[in-house]
Structure 1
Amino acid sequence: MVYRYESDEDAFVGYPRSGSDLPEPTPTPGPPAPAGPSPSRFPTPSLPRTIRPGLPATEPIPARPPVQIPSPPTLPHGYAPTGPLDPPPSRRSGRSGSGRGGGRLWQVLVGGAAVLVLLALCGLGVAALLAERSTNNDQTGAAPPTTAAPVADSAAGELDSRDTDQQPLTAREVFPGKKLVVADGRPAYDVLKTHSGGSCAVAATGEIADLLVRLGCSQVVRATLRSPDGDHLVTAGLFNLTDKASAQRVRDRIRQLLDERQGRFSGLAAGDGTTAVTTAAARVGWQVRGHYIAYCLVVRADGGAVPAGDTAVREIIYDMIELHLDKGVLERRAAGGTAVQPTAKATEDTGTQRGTDGE
């Protein structure tokens, strides 16, 4: 704290007011008062001199070179600067150029990562959309087979009853020529004689004939053929029943009647050398397709016994029933003259019937 002392000489002398009885002060001649602040009015106390400890000796600090301030650019006469000059780049932001470059690099990295994430999300969305379209296309492509199945079923159903299959069979439809080829590349059978009639009893005997008549058989179409090797005679044909149920009932009874010798299928004689087909023991087969019963009997041309397990006889029965009558004649009829995929394989039965002479 600084103390100041005010002496009597510095005492305040008041000036009389105008109109007062006091005389106005007369200025005292002398030298003019020195300029500057007036002497202190408070005494300055005498303080002991403080001796500051000396600083340790240090090396002299070299003097910095004077800062060179560039002179302002020389302007043409009559022009003056319109504003302050731009400071150096290092003074504009208060940061070094490397710091600002690092910040920009970080912003670029963050922005790039955000773009990659956005592209990945878009890719996932597009992939899901394509997968959904592919699934829809797959489901649309799989629809035709499901709709085609009822068409095949309806074609097969046409043969289940005479109500939906009213056109009678003809001999030309079942056996159209003198030669019968059951498959490409196979040798032909010779068609010796054909027959078509409304009495089914002429094609069977005993209880089998009665069963056919009782269950509504209205037509039989048959023919006698000679095998390609000439060693066998064949009579094959179709019985026309009322519906599929009646045809199945006949099928289920045939084996029992044959085993009990209460009836047999009759062969169709076709002239000289074919008598064996009507009298000799025969190997027979039958099968149901819709309201039809396809049948076939095979005998040796010389009238001899047919050995059990004769592969040639089994092949003839398969050719006549499966390939010709079922997949040939009845398949075309079910399709209205157009070939289609075969339906489920019908039941095929085979058996042996003795000749008319009791052998």
Structure 2
Amino acid sequence: MVYRYESDEDAFEEYPEPGSDRSALGAGPPPPAGPSPSRFPAPSLPRPNQLSLPSSSRPSPSLPSSSQPSLPPPPPARAEIPPAAPRSQVYTSATPMEPPTRRGGGRLWQVLIGGAAVLVLLALCGLGAAALLSERGPQPQSTPTFQPNAAPTSAPAERLTLDSRDTDQSPLTAKELFPGKELKLGEGQPSYQVVKTQSSGSCAVAATGEVADLLVRLGCNQVVRATLRTPGGDHLVTAGLFNLTDKASAERARDRVRQLLDERQGRFRGLTGNEGDGTDVLASAPARVGWQVRGHYLAYALVVREDGTAIKAGDAKVGEILFDMIELHLSRGVLQQRADGGTAAQPTAAPTDNSGTQSGDDLPGD
């Protein structure tokens, strides 16, 4: 409770001692120290422009109880009230004022100490790991050595093949086999001149006798071919593809053709061009023939000399022409592009020595 005094005389007036004359003058019990609480109610909070003084360490006086009369407390010491302070702004409090507590300082120190402890722990872990690695020594690296000439351990999985028309359903076209007037097989190589192309649904137009019948029986439904003039101009060649049912039927045709040619029971026909272009020798001159199977296709080529004379056995020039047409162009070129286009994915088969000679004379009834 806070007491306010009107004047210095009221604040420091001595109370009469019990039993003295001054105490007998007043009627009833002696008045309590200080002004009446009803006249000067204590403010709940000090005003901003007022000075609050801490109470002395001396215990605060207690109010008199109803059961036992109490003596009035001695007046407060004069030194507790600064003389320079205005009388209307000086207060004393029964409860001591507590100093403000410092917030944040202790927590900051805790954070700093904790962070330093974590750094020390990490440093110790790093030193331990480094010591462990140094004891083990350098480990040998197991990086595989690249060998450019080493064969692959496993071939990629094949999705489709050229083994059947069921998986290779797109028909052949003359533009697919012979797209232009010239056929160039490699950089810096001379070009073959394309004289005439043909695409037919009847395989019998490209063969005679038992050879034609064999192709029809084995399910051949298409032949695409062309006649070309070699770069030197001294040979003519007819090359193309027979489209059979599957790989098995193509292989049967390959094996049977040699026997039929040797027995002169049929032959492959050359494709003649326009009259007067010198391609009529393809129908009458002795020819050298080669054939090869890839998937359900039978690739073939027929070579004659432009002057119509017979080809000598072991002619290297003719062998190069057959290899260019059958292996390089038809198998590695046309059929490989078909496979790479998504219809199939089958590696190029190794070339086989399927070649022979045939007479230029047509069989009776052809």
Q: TM-score, normalised by structure 1?
A: 0.59
The AA in structure 2 aligned to 1:208 is V
Q: Is the 8 A contact 1:289 1:346 kept in 2?
A: no
Counterpart check, 1:197 vs 2:210: no
Match of 2:156 in 1: 150
Q: Aligned equivalents of 2:246 and 2:337: distance in 1?
A: 19
Match of 2:360 in 1: 355
SS state at 1:150 partner: coil
Q: CA deviation at 1:158?
A: 2.0
Q: Is the 8 A contact 2:339 2:346 kept in 1?
A: no
Q: Aligned equivalents of 1:161 and 1:346: distance in 2?
A: 20
RMSD: 3.0
SS state at 1:210 partner: helix
Match of 1:336 in 2: 341
Q: Is the 8 A contact 1:288 1:348 kept in 2?
A: no
Distance 1:159 1:357, change over 3 A: closer
Q: CA deviation at 1:343?
A: 3.0
SS state at 2:341 partner: coil
Match of 1:277 in 2: 282
Match of 2:309 in 1: 304
Match of 2:232 in 1: 229
Q: CA deviation at 1:344?
A: 3.7
Q: Which runs of 5+ in 2 are unaligned?
A: 1-129
| Alignment partner of 2:297 out of 282, 292, 299 | 292
The AA in structure 2 aligned to 1:351 is G
Aligned pairs, number: 229
Distance 1:181 1:342, change over 3 A: farther
Q: CA deviation at 1:310?
A: 1.0
Alignment of 1:121-160 (within 5 A): 122=133, 125-127=136-138, 130-131=139-140, 134-135=141-142, 138=144, 149-151=155-157, 153-154=158-159, 157-160=160-163
SS state at 1:161 partner: coil
Q: Aligned equivalents of 1:124 and 1:346: distance in 2?
A: 61
Q: Aligned equivalents of 2:351 and 2:362: distance in 1?
A: 33
Q: Aligned equivalents of 1:225 and 1:357: distance in 2?
A: 22
The AA in structure 2 aligned to 1:328 is G
| Alignment partner of 1:322 out of 305, 322, 327 | 327
Distance 1:125 1:176, change over 3 A: same
- Alignment deviations for residues 212-253 of structure 1 (CA, whole Å, 9 cap, x no partner): 000101110000011111111110000001111110010011
Q: Aligned equivalents of 1:281 and 1:275: distance in 2?
A: 12
SS state at 1:160 partner: coil
Q: Aligned equivalents of 2:134 and 2:326: distance in 1?
A: 62
Q: Is the 8 A contact 1:220 1:240 kept in 2?
A: yes
Q: CA deviation at 1:150?
A: 2.6
Q: Which runs of 5+ in 1 are unaligned?
A: 1-118
Alignment of 1:43-192 (within 5 A): 122=133, 125-127=136-138, 130-131=139-140, 134-135=141-142, 138=144, 149-151=155-157, 153-154=158-159, 157-192=160-195
The AA in structure 2 aligned to 1:263 is G
Q: Aligned equivalents of 2:231 and 2:336: distance in 1?
A: 24
Match of 1:49 in 2: none
Q: Is the 8 A contact 1:183 1:323 kept in 2?
A: no
Counterpart check, 1:212 vs 2:215: yes
Q: Aligned equivalents of 2:328 and 2:197: distance in 1?
A: 19
SS state at 1:330 partner: helix
Q: Aligned equivalents of 2:282 and 2:260: distance in 1?
A: 20
Q: CA deviation at 1:121?
A: 8.3
Q: Aligned equivalents of 1:205 and 1:351: distance in 2?
A: 16
Distance 1:337 1:300, change over 3 A: farther
Match of 2:101 in 1: none
Match of 2:19 in 1: none
Q: Is the 8 A contact 1:247 1:292 kept in 2?
A: yes
Q: Is the 8 A contact 2:331 2:348 kept in 1?
A: no
Q: Aligned equivalents of 1:196 and 1:356: distance in 2?
A: 24
The AA in structure 2 aligned to 1:233 is L
The list of structure 1 runs, each at least 4 consecutive aligned residues, that deviate by more than 2 angstroms after superposition, is 119-127, 340-344
Match of 2:252 in 1: 249
Which has more helix, going by share of residues? Answer: 1
Q: CA deviation at 1:320?
A: 0.5
Q: Is the 8 A contact 2:294 2:349 kept in 1?
A: no
Distance 1:341 1:248, change over 3 A: closer
Counterpart check, 1:265 vs 2:268: yes
Alignment of 1:13-52 (within 5 A): none
SS state at 2:354 partner: strand
Q: Is the 8 A contact 1:327 1:342 kept in 2?
A: no
Q: Aligned equivalents of 1:227 and 1:318: distance in 2?
A: 13
SS state at 1:186 partner: coil
SS state at 1:182 partner: coil
Q: CA deviation at 1:183?
A: 1.4
Q: Aligned equivalents of 1:208 and 1:263: distance in 2?
A: 5
Q: Aligned equivalents of 2:186 and 2:134: distance in 1?
A: 58
Q: TM-score, normalised by structure 2?
A: 0.58
